[in-house]
Amino acid sequence: MFLSITGGILALNLAFVKPAYTPTTSTKSYVITKNELIHKQNQYYNNENMETKEGTWVNVRLSFYTHLDKGCNNITASGKQIQDGMCACPKNVPFGQKIYVPGLNKILTCEDRGGSITNKNGVMRIDVYVPTKEMAFSMGVKFMKAKLLK
């Protein structure tokens, strides 16, 4: 947060500390600009994907969705009834692929697809199913490592 005076106009820059929508949670979260997000992503993910005997570690961008979102229903792209532990992955990830996400302490199963679910700039976008819109909003977007299990 800083103050600046330009042409006689006093401006208060709150671009980094604007409160985000958090429905019914007491946890504070903040909106950051796209450039700040890319900078944070580049700071954290400066290494290549790492293969181990259990699978391959990849950089992921997790977002969260619910069957109540516009255009969604209870059936995944693979034809299964949607349930906890399922996620939408890019087309290069086969249905049934298990993905260990230590940051969520979960093993997810790829059973769905989505229009913006892609690989971009070395980061795999994954959309994780949650049962309510409140949970989806409160979880936000997270960047972390995940392991594609063999």
- Taking the whole predicted model, whether its pTM rises above 0.75 is answered as no
Q: What are 64-120's pLDDT values in tens digits?
A: 988 877 777 888 899 999 999 999 999 999 999 999 999 889 999 999 988 888 888
Instruction: Say which DSSP state 71 is in.
Output: T
Segment (H or E) for 41: helix 34-44
Phi, psi of 55 (to 5 degrees): 160, -165
Residue 77 exposed, middle or buried by CB count within 10 Å (0-12, 13-18, 19+): middle
Q: What is the pLDDT of residue 144?
A: 92
2-149: CATH architecture: Beta Barrel (2.40)
The two structure tokens encoding residue 112: 């769905």
Q: What are 125-137's pLDDT values in tens digits?
A: 999 999 998 998 9
Grade residue 41 by pLDDT with cuts at 50, 70 and 90: low
Domain boundaries, given as residue ranges, for the chain:
2-149
